Homo-oligomer: A and B are copies of this chain.
Amino acid sequence: MVYEKIKTLSAAMEKDMVAQRRDFHKYAETGWFETRTTSIIARHLTKLGYEVLLGEQVCDKDARMGVPSEAALAAHYEKALEWGADPEFAPFTKGGMTGVIGILRCGEGPTVGMRFDIDALGVIESDEPDHRPMAEGFASVNRGAMHSCGHDAHATIGMGVATVLMAIREHLHGTIKLIFQPAEEGVRGAKSIVEKGHLDDVNYFLGSHVTGKKPEDPTVIIPGSTGSLATCKYDVTYRGKSAHAGGAPHMGKNALLAAAAAVVNLYAIPRHGAGASRINVGKLVAGSGRNVIADEAFMEIELRGATTEINDYMIQYAEDILRNTAAMYGCSCEMKLMGAATSNESDPDFCEYLRQLWHEKLGFPVSEKLMLKIGGSEDVSYMVNRVRENGGKATFMRAMTITTGPAHNRRFDFDESLMVPTVQAFCAAVADLLK
């Protein structure tokens, strides 16, 4: 029986998966820098016999957002090689062209797409001795990059799924697409994969995210998600003209004053009657010296909405405020899109189907919740929405485990035993959908 095979194979990989996850954790790479991570996954997929897409085959180059400078990418590339990036595959990632897709064609049948994100966060990892990665020697050696959101697990799970599916391929009828996505943090990468067309032929789509639970909670996996916010991230630069604040204040174009006026008005964007909206100016740096009219101001802004429509309302308003406020103080305004995600909902029918399937075939306890309400943003939304628009079924599952510290925290860690059942959940779904 295929489900027994899935269970056995997955369980047998546990030790390897833990080792792989810790390797990724130690050599954490942030968005568009995932040279080493990409190359290791590519090597694994190649070895297994997958058709492997790399470099410009994965992401639409111009649809990537928040790409770091060429200089920074080049500097990390060298480090990645030192840290053991596979020299055959690494070159494909140059210039921030990271990410890899593995395809397995098993004759006629539908296509199942799966998303595994692989990037770390720009967090300095805790060096406290009771922080397990520190104690057990797998804390990040890449200072300022840390897997504090569990994408090290996601990448490892994806590799496990690849192994198991290849092993049960004779049971499958259809196509498998394993998408290892770069730059999910800051919601910068998914859109460029969707723009490349990789989701256009997908009939069933699954993604998952590590999520904390209470020790006494028996849930293995919650089938879907709801309530994620659409979002847009902008870097905004105002440029004016400096002047001596004592002698000629009228000769300046005060970018600091303009930015301050913009901030107050941004927060004052009228609330939307149809649901939650959000605005944040998280950073503001302006001016050069006390007695000089500031000629430059820089802001990091994000907007969110319960729906894509509400998010669009916020974007439109923010643009109007930013451009007009700059204009009224004689400054220029440059807005650079740094990230974006739409809102998305998992398909309730599909979630119900998965809940039953896992209970029957894998013996998982029936999850009390069908979908978990999440307050943040995730760019898997572009994939979920593209598949559902085309009539497919899609879900973004929550792999439940015990975590240490909240996500994005420098002390984040999790119970690695969640990886095996998550691999099983993905593979059981594929086995049934392509049976």
Q: Which of B301, B327, B330 contacts A290 (CB 8 A)?
A: B301
Question: Given A324-B324, A376-B246, A376-B247, are A264 and B271 also a contact pair (CB < 8 Å)?
Answer: no
> Does residue A313 face the partner (Cβ distance < 8 Å to B)?
yes
Complex contacts, A385 vs chain B, CB 8 Å: none
Quote the shortest CB–CB distance from A216 to chain B (angstroms).
Answer: 24
Residues of B within 8 A of A323 (CB): 328
Contacts of A273 in B (CB 8 A): 246-251, 375
**B285, B321, B328: the one within 8 Å of A265 (CB):** B328
* Nearest chain B residue, comparing its CB with the CB of A123: B289
Give the most central of A270, A277, A293: most B CB within 10 Å: A270
Interface status of A288 (Cβ within 8 A of chain B): yes
Contact B285 A292 (CB under 8 A): no
Number of copies of this kind of chain in the complex? 4
Measured CB to CB, the nearest residue on chain B to A283 is B287
On chain B, the residues within 8 Å of A229 by CB distance are 246
Contact (Cβ within 8 A) B278 A246? yes
- A268-B268 in contact (CB<8A): yes
Q: Does A115 contact B (CB under 8 A)?
A: no
Bound complex: CA A252 to CA B270 (Å)? 9
**Cβ-defined contact, A233 with B290, below 8 A:** yes
Interface size on A, residues (CB 8 A): 69
User: Do residues B302 and A377 form an inter-chain contact, with CB atoms below 8 A?
Assistant: no
Q: Which residues in B have their C-beta under 8 angstroms from that of A321?
A: 328
Stretch at the interface among A1-9, A49-57, A79-87, A255-263: A255-263
Other-chain contact of A291, B282, B284, B285 (Cβ < 8 Å): B282
Give the shortest distance, in Å, between A186 (CB) and chain B (any CB).
8
Cβ of B328 and Cβ of A280 under 8 Å apart? no
A416 within 8 A of B: no
In this complex, what residue of B is CB-closest to A228? B246
| Neighbour of A324 across the interface among B275, B277, B288, B327, CB < 8 A | B327
B290 touches A280 (CB 8 A): yes
Looking at A186, A286, A288, the one whose CB has the most chain B CB atoms below 10 A away is A286
Given contacts A257-B264, A261-B264, A264-B257, whether A283 and B272 have CB atoms under 8 Å apart is no
- Using CB atoms, name the residue of chain B closest to A272: B250
Residues of chain B within 8 A (CB-CB) of A353 are: none
Check A289–B278 contact: CB distance below 8 A: no
Tell me whether A260 and B247 are in contact (CB under 8 A).
no
Known A-B contacts A249-B280, A256-B263; the reply to A320 vs B313 at CB < 8 A is: no
A-B contact list, 29 entries, CB within 8 Å? A186-B290, A245-B282, A245-B302, A246-B278, A246-B280, A249-B271, A249-B272, A249-B280, A250-B270, A250-B274, A251-B273, A254-B267, A256-B281, A260-B263, A260-B281, A261-B268, A264-B268, A265-B328, A268-B268, A271-B277, A273-B375, A275-B276, A282-B289, A282-B290, A283-B288, A284-B285, A284-B286, A284-B287, A287-B300
